[in-house]
Amino acid sequence: MMTRIISPSILAADFGHLADDINMLNDSEAQWIHIDVMDGVFVPNISFGFPAIEAVRPLTAKPLDVHLMIVDPDRYIARWAETGADVLTVQAEACVHLHRTLQTIHAAGMRAGVALNPATPLSAVEEVLDDLDMVLLMTVNPGFGAQKFILHSFDKIRRLRAMIDRRGLQTLIQVDGGVTLDNAAELYAAGVDVLVAGNTVFASENPAETIHKLLTVR
């Protein structure tokens, strides 16, 4: 059976009671915690940075899945490791020397992911597929939560899954943006391993139960 990992995005959490929401995630079946870092340049929004992650780190033993929507991410790789990031994902569109960036992430002791915007072709990761642990396919245009899932993403997911399987790699496929209880089963069937979910989890009546449903949906 394929890997199934749920990584709730705390961009949709209640920042006034962030510790409570982290504790809820600790008690839930979510395996990772997704943290969206936005710089207001790569995306038209500003979220949070080092102080927020340094505040979250001691509250949970679960892996922090840090998604960098920032320009020139090479500047801060060692600093993200210091804050306690476990998985560090950079946007391919923001990296001039992607192979070197992935080497630097691994040298800093983190798992390396590369995110592709909806319009960015899979060929952007073809040459470095052996050097990364995860490909994040954005299924919305990055910068905001609670957006609608871009339907033609399914075809891109299937092509990426075929590319990875053809090369016998263990690379994880993560999708991010507009994931719901209605499209989760089809996402797994298309070959996804890791579901990021923000609004679906934190806007639901019972977030822990929603996470359970996302993990077990058939």
Taking CB under 6 A as the rule, does residue 204 contact ligand DX5?
A: no
* Residue range at the interface with ligand DX5 (CB under 6 A); choices 21-29, 90-98, 118-126, 142-150: 142-150
Q: Please report how close the Cβ of residue 35 comes to Zn ion at its closest, in angstroms.
A: 8
Q: Find the binder of ligand DX5 among 5, 9, 30, 192 (CB under 6 A).
A: 9
The residue from 21, 131, 176, 193 that is catalytic is 176
- Output 105 or 201, the one with its CB closest to ligand DX5: 201
The residue from 21, 36, 65, 133 that is catalytic is 36
- Output 138 or 167, the one with its CB closest to Zn ion: 138
Q: Find the binder of Zn ion among 21, 65, 133, 176 (CB under 5 A).
A: 176
3-state secondary structure the chain: CCCCEEEEEHHHCCHHHHHHHHHHHHHCCCCCEEEEEEECCCCCCECCCHHHHHHHHHHCCCCEEEEEECCCHHHHHHHHHHHCCCEEEEEHHHCCCHHHHHHHHHHCCCEEEEEECCCCCCHHHHCCHHHCCEEEEECCCCCCCCCCCCCCHHHHHHHHHHHHHHCCCCCEEEEECCCCCCCHHHHHHHCCCEEEECHHHHCCCCHHHHHHHHHHCC
Q: Find the binder of Zn ion among 12, 13, 36, 110 (CB under 5 A).
A: 36
The option from Zn ion, ligand DX5, none interacting with 73 (CB < 5 to 8 A, set by class) reads: none
Q: List beta partners, residue 114.
A: 90, 135
Q: Find the binder of ligand DX5 among 143, 160, 190, 194 (CB under 6 A).
A: 143
Active site residues per annotation: 36, 176
Which stretches of the chain bind ligand DX5, using CB under 6 A?
A: 9, 11-12, 34, 36, 67, 140, 142-147, 176-179, 196-200
